[in-house]
Structure 1
């Protein structure tokens, strides 16, 4: 898949509001990609991501970087002594002691000064280059599905390395390039103060080489898991006023199955975690029967999975 196809698939399956942003760090002497322009004013890396997700393709040498900390972290320029010491973090009241600031600096990922000569950013669909990483601005639900896609073939859980400092430069760009592992960020002082990321959004960064695999996994998740979760298929009919004035014992659940609606597909039996439902033959037809209703835990999985909406649960 090319960049445009990847972006189109991701936007459709995840219902993205913003374009995924392709980010490349250009080495000294490396050819500048086509169809990118220098911004008219210096920008922070997080601001450049904002502009790129809105449709701009940018070429940013050191002179176009407004944040000296971010430019140094990405290996474009040397780190100034005041930034390296952590002094500025105390002046901004971000951390209480110089020891805390130095520990934060020592544990973040950086590139050595001079490793790179510029950054290039573009909406993934318009990128004329192969990105190092692709950065998403997403809602938590969309982030969850990207996590699921990353685990789809392995079942592995994720460990993220992040903080509230240097989010887009260190956590989303350098960290992901060095480790070749997906990472998340909730933004930082700069990213929240000078970009339009909403209070309900966060970032995910993915190594570009992993994107086709993620798209393939999302295609499989889009067959069943994603649409079912978005339809809230396990939501009970009433979930308000659940508090009881008096302590009560165990609940009993009335499991009603409309045999006229039931087609005998067997999904309810397969998905029931407590083996409450089994398939029986009635009048020569396979149908579901709540043969062990006393074990029902009211998880609503059977009702949610039933394609005919033939199952109704009533908790007493």
Structure 2
């Protein structure tokens, strides 16, 4: 898949508001690709990400980086002494002691000065360079589906390494480049103060080498899991086609299951999806219909209701 195809998959399936942003750190003596513009004003790396998600393709040499902390973390320039010592973190009241500041600096991901010469940022759909990472601006639900897509072929869980400091530079650019693993960030003091990221948005960064396999997994999830979750199919009370709810009586069990057998399609999904074997399929008048065999096992999870293609199952809680 090319970048345009990949961007389309992510945007369409996740319903993204913002473009995924391709990021590359330009190696020493590497040629500047066509199609990128050096901005006339200086920008922080987090601001450049915002510009790229809006459609701009930018070439950012050190002279265009407004944030010395971010530029140094990404290996473009030496770290200024006040930032290296941790002194400025105390002045900003972001940390209480030099000991805390120095520990935070020591453990955060960074590249040595001179490792790279510039940053490139562009919407993934327009990027004509090989990205190192792709940064997504997401709502939590969208981030959840990217996590599911990452786990789809391996079953592995994600282990994120993040903090409220140095978001787009350390956590979203350097960290995934060094580890080859997806990472997440909720923003930082600088990115929230200097950009228009919403209070309800977060960032997720994916190593570019994983873009295609995650996109293919996302397509699989979009066949069933994503639309079902977005339609809240297990959210009680569920509107069924069974008819008028029966009146409560003292001898009615705590959970009552009604089935409109006449309109059942006989596909057996209620029995297949039930984790406790509440239903069994039996032949009636020459066709299979679900029978409630073990009602006492029902936990009212509503999976049977949500998965029933005809909507003929009703679960009542007394």
Normalising to structure 2: TM-score of the pair? 0.95
Aligned to 1:288: 290
- Structure 1 residue matching 2:218: 3-state secondary structure: helix
252, 264, 267: which is aligned to 1:265? 267
Moved over 6 A (4+): none
Distance in 1 (CA, whole Å) between partners of 2:142 and 2:8 is 15
Aligned to 2:304: 302
Distance in 2 (CA, whole Å) between partners of 1:105 and 1:258 is 64
After superposition, residues 47-126 of structure 1 pair within 5 angstroms as: 47-126=47-126
Distance in 2 (CA, whole Å) between partners of 1:257 and 1:34 is 64
Q: Which runs of 5+ in 2 are unaligned?
A: 239-252
Aligned to 1:156: 156
Aligned to 2:136: 136
275, 278, 281: which is aligned to 1:276? 278
1:283 is displaced (CA, Å) by 1.2
Aligned to 2:241: none
Q: Which runs of 5+ in 1 are unaligned?
A: 239-250
1:102 is displaced (CA, Å) by 0.5
Distance in 2 (CA, whole Å) between partners of 1:292 and 1:98 is 64
Aligned to 1:244: none
Distance in 2 (CA, whole Å) between partners of 1:290 and 1:39 is 68
Q: Deviations over 1:22-43 (max 9, x none)?
A: 0000012100111000111000
1:89 is displaced (CA, Å) by 0.4
Matched, 1:42 2:76: no
1:86 is displaced (CA, Å) by 0.5
- Structure 2 residue matching 1:89: 3-state secondary structure: helix
Distance in 2 (CA, whole Å) between partners of 1:61 and 1:84 is 21
Matched, 1:127 2:135: no
After superposition, residues 152-191 of structure 1 pair within 5 angstroms as: 152-191=152-191
Matched, 1:237 2:257: no
Normalising to structure 1: TM-score of the pair? 0.95
